[in-house]
Amino acid sequence: MPFSRLPALLAEALSERGYAAPTPVQAAVLEEGAGDRDLIVSAQTGSGKTVAFGLAVAGQLLDEDGRMPRAGTPLALAIAPTRELALQVSRELMWLYGKAGARIVSCVGGMDPSKERRNLSHGAHIVVGTPGRLRDHLERGALDLSALRVAVLDEADEMLDMGFREDLEEILDATPEGRRTLLFSATMPKPIVALAKRYQKDALRISTVGEDRGHGDITYQAVTVAPSDIEAAVVNLLRFHEPDTAILFCATRDAVRHLHASLIERGFDAVALSGEHSQSERNHALQALRDRRARVCVATDVAARGIDLPSLSLVIHVELPRDAEALQHRSGRTGRAGKKGTAALIVPYQRRRRVESMLRGAKIQAEWVSPPSAEAIRDADRERLITTLANPVEIEDEDRALATRLMAELSAEEIAARLVQSHRAKLPAPEELVDQGPQPRERPEGPRQGFEDTVWFRMDVGRRHNADPRWLLPLLCRRGHITKQDIGAIRIAADETMFEIPRHVAPRFVASVKRTAGGDPDGEGGIRFAAVEGSPREAARQNRRAGPPPVRHQPKPFRQGPKRPPR
Per-position pLDDT tens, the chain of length 567: 456 678 889 988 888 888 878 888 888 888 877 878 999 988 766 667 889 889 999 989 998 888 999 999 999 999 998 887 888 899 999 999 999 999 999 999 878 899 999 999 999 999 999 999 999 999 999 999 999 999 999 988 878 877 889 999 999 999 999 899 999 887 777 888 889 999 999 889 888 765 444 445 789 999 998 888 899 999 999 999 999 899 999 989 999 999 999 999 889 999 999 878 887 888 888 888 887 889 999 998 876 766 767 778 899 999 998 888 788 878 877 876 556 889 999 998 878 888 999 998 888 889 999 899 999 999 999 888 888 777 776 677 888 888 899 889 888 888 888 888 888 888 888 888 765 444 434 445 566 677 888 999 999 888 877 777 777 888 888 888 888 888 988 888 888 899 999 999 999 999 888 888 876 665 677 788 999 887 766 665 555 555 544 444 444 444 444 444 444
pLDDT at 468: 78
pLDDT at 439: 42
pLDDT at 457: 94
Q: What is the DSSP letter of 146?
A: T
Domain boundaries, the chain: 8-207, 218-375, 454-546
Strand stretches in 12-171, DSSP E = 39-42, 76-79, 104-107, 126-129, 150-153
Could you say which of 3.40.50.300, 3.40.309.10, 3.30.530.20, 3.30.1330.10 is the CATH number of the domain covering 218-375?
3.40.50.300
The third-level CATH classification (topology) of the domain covering 8-207 is: Rossmann fold (3.40.50)
Secondary structure class of 437 (helix, strand, coil): coil
Secondary structure class of 522 (helix, strand, coil): coil
pLDDT at 248: 95
Residues near 271 by beta carbon (within 8 Å), at least 6 away in sequence:
260, 284, 285, 288, 289, 294, 296, 297, 298
Say whether 454-546 and 8-207 share the same fold.
no
Residues near 291 by beta carbon (within 8 Å), at least 6 away in sequence:
none
CB atoms within 10 A of CB 469: 17
pTM score of the predicted model: 0.54
Q: What is the DSSP letter of 441?
A: -
Residues near 38 by beta carbon (within 8 Å), at least 6 away in sequence:
180, 181, 182, 183, 200, 201, 202, 203, 204
Across 259-290, b (16+ Cβ under 10 Å) vs e yields bbebbeebebebbbbbeebeeeebeebbebbe
Note the Cα 342 to chain centre separation in Å.
10
Residues near 149 by beta carbon (within 8 Å), at least 6 away in sequence:
57, 60, 61, 75, 76, 179, 180
Nearest Cα residue to 241 out of 179, 310, 302, 313: 313
Q: d(Cα 110, Cα 545) in Å, to the nearest integer?
A: 75
pLDDT at 482: 85
pLDDT at 399: 84
Burial class from Cβ neighbours inside 10 Å (0-12, 13-18, 19+) for residue 566 reads: exposed
Handedness of CA 92, 97, 101, 107 (dihedral sign): negative
User: How many alpha carbons lie under 13 Å from residue 75 in its C-beta half-sphere?
Assistant: 18
Could you say which of 3.30.70.330, 3.30.420.40, 3.30.70.270, 3.40.190.290 is the CATH number of the domain covering 454-546?
3.30.70.330
pLDDT at 452: 82
Q: How far is CA 209 from CA 173, 185, 217, 420, in A?
A: 31, 11, 15, 47
pLDDT at 437: 47
**Residues paired with residue 106 on neighbouring β-strands, in sequence order:** 128
* CA 262-268-271 angle, 5° bins: 75
pLDDT at 82: 82
Q: d(Cα 107, Cα 105) in Å, to the nearest integer?
A: 7
Q: Are 78 and 106 in contact (CB under 8 A)?
A: no
Q: Packing angle between helix 412-425 and helix 374-390, nearest 10 degrees?
A: 120
Q: d(Cα 187, Cα 550) in Å, to the nearest integer?
A: 53
Query: How many residues are given for the chain?
Result: 567
